[in-house]
Amino acid sequence: MIVMITGATSGFGKACAEKFAATGHHLILTGRRKDRLKEVCNSLEDRFGITALPLLFDVRDQQAVFEAVESLSAEWRAIDVLVNNAGLALGRDYFDEAQVEDWNTMIDTNVKGFLYVAKAVSALMIPRGKGHIINLGSISGKEVYEKGNVYCATKFAVDALNQGMRIDLLRHGIKVTAVNPGAADTEFSSVRFKGDESAARKVYEGIEPLTAEDVANTVHYCTTLPPHVCINDITMTCLRQANSFYVDRKL
Ligand code: NDP
Ligand code: 8X3
């Protein structure tokens, strides 16, 4: 298969790239950090003998997204799976204290960027009458928590769009799946708390959080089912987290 993964320079995207490479699939990997992206592609090619094509773009840049997908050769355009993963949280603040710039970045990345990628890639799947889009949602798209306001709103949007895409792409034979993880130890919290590592580590205090590999294994599993089977939605958390509110911390 050809698997395209956005946000493959760290966290879930990088772990998904490794899982799909290890199972013999060719990859189109995207991100903004050029050196990291090249490093990931080169390492996977060396270790697994697959081909990994780096595509450098910011998902917020509509033109860049469509041009990057348009630039693919005929061979690479036959994308079987899209892991629509690139995203972030910025800040964890009360609504009245939050930065509007953080809101803009989250909405532009998690909603608009997410849409540009899905639109550009589904256009290549439609003529083939098949394909699988796996959208990275979150438990934050299931329940709103204090100081989650706009990040939660972007993930509620992903939940709605996942359902909408599943319905509207049905007639084209395209599978659409949401994987909604709870707390997972990636670069996510360092980004959210803008480099404040002590705040970032607190998120995982007293629990054994999900790892990027746990999520990658689930994403990969969804792609291994028979052609007539589609998982629409998976919510997954670590053992000590039931949902956005209930976390049993052993401190
Ligand atoms: P990481 O910070 O480890 O990875 C995020 C990835 O997204 C990076 O590869 C980054 O690449 C890419 N990215 C961010 N912004 C952009 C952009 N504007 N354009 C292109 N690429 C971008 O976080 P995770 O792996 O944890 O997060 C992946 C997804 O999972 C996100 O959508 C997140 O909301 C979601 N999620 C995370 C959870 C968690 O607890 N970790 C739980 C539930 C959902 P680069 O910087 O190179 O551009
Ligand atoms: C991230 C999940 O609960 O850390 O999407 O905000 S949480």
Each domain of the chain, given as residue ranges in start order, spans 2-236
| CB-based contact 177:222 (threshold 8 Å) | yes
Q: What is the pLDDT of residue 10?
A: 98
For residue 72, what pLDDT is reported? Answer: 98
% of the chain residues with pLDDT over 70: 100
Task: State the DSSP H helix or E strand holding residue 29, giving kind and residue range, or none if neither.
Answer: strand 26-31
Q: Give residue 219's pLDDT.
A: 99
Give the pair of three-digit tokens for residue 228: 């007539």
Catalytic position from the list 145, 151, 204, 246: 151
CA of 123 to the centre of ligand 2 (A): 30
- Identify whether the C-beta of residue 76 lies closer than 8 Å to the C-beta of residue 69: no
pLDDT band at 168 (very low <50, low <70, confident <90, very high): very high
Mean per-residue pLDDT, 213-235: 98
Q: Is 144 helix (H, G, I), strand (E, B) or coil?
A: coil
- Beta-bridged to residue 234, according to DSSP, are 179
Summarize pLDDT for 54-73 with one digit per residue, the tens.
Answer: 999 999 999 999 999 999 99
Residue type (1 letter), 135: N
Work out the mean pLDDT of the chain and round it to a whole number.
98
The CATH classification of domain 2-236, taken from the options 3.40.50.300, 3.40.190.10, 3.40.50.720, 3.70.10.10? 3.40.50.720
Atom of ligand 2 nearest to the CA of 182: 2
3-class secondary-structure state, position 42: helix
In this prediction, residue 130 carries a pLDDT of 98
Residue that has been written with the tokens 């994987």 in this structure: 179
Q: What's the CA gap between 51 and 76, in Å, rounded?
A: 11
Structural tokens at position 143: 């329940």
